[in-house]
Amino acid sequence: MSTEKIPYKIYLTEDEMPRAWYNVRADMKVKPAPLLNPGTGKPMGFEDLTPVFCDELVRQELDNDTAFFEIPEHIRDFYKMYRPSPLVRAYCLEEKLQTPAKIYYKFEGNNTSGSHKLNSAIAQAYYAKEQGLTGVTTETGAGQWGTALSMACAYLGLDLKVFMVKCSYEQKPFRREVMRTYGASVTPSPSDTTAVGRRILEQFPGTAGSLGCAISEAVEVATSTPGYRYVLGSVLNQVLLHQSVIGLETKAALEKYGVVPDMIIGCAGGGSNLGGLIAPFMGEKLRGERDYQIIAVEPKSCPSFTRGTFAYDFCDTGMVCPLAKMYTLGSSFMPNPDHAGGLRFHGMSSTLSQLYHDGYMEARAVSQTDVFEAAEYFARVEGILPAPESSHAIRVAIDEAIKCKETGEEKTIVFGLTGTGYFDLVAYEKFHNGEMKNYIPSDEEIAASVAKLPKVE
């Protein structure tokens, strides 16, 4: 154990950066349930998935046994442009809270796309390019994934078509322009350019769109355009695999100073940053080597873990995607338009869902104004303007640090600060003007969409 004072920022050298991603499924006794073909109800194999996804990514998706996947050198070189990301000791926050807790955060906002999503975007674009494809399609909600992928595709010379949830397309023109700067074409979803988009528009005229709708459109275009595949920025096993770089770096940085966390906290939309952050720690927990308290934080307006059902469901509203077994609010669940804090997906990663189901992690839901209060507090104390999504984790980290103050416990808390909030200032404006509402869906509302879950034996 080092006796040096722990610096404000712990960086790894380039040589200390991970050379392989870690696949937590290899250490799970109960593996996440397989994706099912929505037509036949049968598990989807390599041949079923490769018309939609790149070959190597399908291999990663289906592999529940290989613990480490080497990170190709080209991807490691790209990572070096913005990684390793700093692990920050939040001395200022600890001081302000007067807590005996020791707080660390892993900051993933230090790249133009402003979030962790670039870690998987570059990997997915790389495998598409290696396969000789000309382009990829995807959806984006708030815009971070689309931005990250447009950067990765520009770097590798791949075409990119993005379907952007209509309300974001209209509310976030700057995000859209960043994507176009990197050469992506951006279409508001639902659109009349796809059959599924036209069907959704007919069913829900004037809809502001949802991630689920945009996924359906992007998949349709990918499967009907030669040389194209579809890529997804969260939820899938492969995305959690790539994001393990976050957790591997965090663990290596902590080990440099002999620090062992008690508690690891992350926000959960589809589960990719949290899955990545906790991966190597969860591995130790699964192998019985060490115990950690792991907390997923989600919005009360879209509470997949805390109020959802563990069942097979569609990943998209158009019901064209494979079925995944996960905690879900039902694929027809649409978060209230007043919800501005991101993390709007109706389901959750199958891997995290299984781990949660088996008691390896817990979940908390927080309300929107509490999240923005924490965001503002954090910005004033630690300087970084956080993304609303990330601020869910900040909220619970602060709550836990305050508990430590009351009990006198010197817990070590690590949380994921997934990104910056410069493109979310309309939401901040609502908060500052006192116009932000805390919408919480009723039991009836959730029951109605859960009642539409597909019947699977």
DSSP SS3 for 263: strand
- Alpha-carbon distance of 181 to 178, in angstroms, equals 5
Residues 35, 308: Cα–Cα separation, whole Å? 19
Which C-beta is closer to ligand PLP: that of 335 or that of 419? 419
DSSP notation for 20-31: EEE-GGGG-SSP
From candidates 150, 189, 272, 328, binder to ligand PLP by CB under 6 A: 272
Least gap, CB of 185 to ligand PLP (angstroms) = 21
By CB under 6 A, name the one of 119, 171, 187, 234 that touches ligand PLP.
234
Would you count residue 212 as binding ligand PLP (CB under 6 A)?
Answer: no
> Comparing C-alpha atoms, which of 101, 145, 99, 96 is closest to residue 125?
145
Shortest Å, Cβ 234 to ligand PLP: 3
CB of 231 to ligand PLP, least distance (A): 14
190 belongs to the binding site for ligand PLP (CB under 6 A): no
Among 389, 391, 398, 415, which residue sits at the site for ligand PLP (rule: CB under 6 A)?
Answer: 389
Tokens coding 285: 């927990």
The answer to whether residues 438 and 366 touch, using CB atoms and an 8 Å cutoff, is no
Residue 221 or residue 268: which is nearer to ligand PLP going by CB?
A: 268
Of 103 and 387, the one with the shorter C-beta distance to ligand PLP is: 387
What is the DSSP-derived secondary structure letter of residue 328? Answer: E
Distances (CA, A) of 291 to 262, 407, 452, 454: 8, 21, 38, 36
Stretch that binds ligand PLP, among 149-157, 197-205, 266-274, 424-432 (CB under 6 A): 266-274
Of residues 25, 29, 120, the one with CA closest to residue 351: 25
d(CA 370, CA 389): 12
Kindly tell me which residue out of 86, 190, 247, 271 binds ligand PLP, with binding defined by CB under 6 A: 271
Query: CB under 8 Å to 19, separation ≥6 — which residues?
Result: 70, 71, 76
Could you give the string, one character per residue 120-159, with x where binding to ligand PLP holds by CB under 6 A and - elsewhere? ------------------------x---------------
Interacting residues with ligand PLP between 336 and 365 (CB under 6 A): 343
Contact segment (CB under 6 A) with ligand PLP among 53-61, 94-102, 261-269, 401-409 equals 261-269
Q: 101 in helix, strand or coil?
A: coil
Identify which range of 125-133, 264-272, 314-322, 369-377 contacts ligand PLP by CB under 6 A. 264-272
Q: Is 389 left (phi over 0), alpha (psi -120 to 50) or beta?
A: alpha
Output 117 or 346, the one with its CB closest to ligand PLP: 117
Task: Give phi and psi for 149, each to the nearest 5.
Answer: -70, -35
> Residue 259's CB: how many other CB atoms inside 10 A?
19
The residues near 151 (Cβ < 8 Å, ≥ 6 apart) are: 111, 112, 113, 118, 121, 182
Q: Is 168 in the site for ligand PLP (CB under 6 A)?
A: no
**386 DSSP 8-state letter:** B
> Is position 418 an interface residue for ligand PLP (rule: CB under 6 A)?
yes
Nearer to ligand PLP, 6 or 352 (CB): 352
Size of the site for ligand PLP (CB under 6 A): 17
Closest residue to ligand PLP, Cβ-based?
A: 419
CB contact at 8 A, 312 and 33: yes
Q: Name which position in 354, 390, 391, 449 contacts ligand PLP (CB under 6 A).
A: 390
Binding ligand PLP (rule: CB under 6 A), the pick from 273, 304, 350, 353 is 273
Q: Does 269 bind ligand PLP (CB under 6 A)?
A: yes
Residues that bind ligand PLP (CB under 6 A): 115, 117, 144, 234, 267-273, 343, 387, 389-390, 418-419
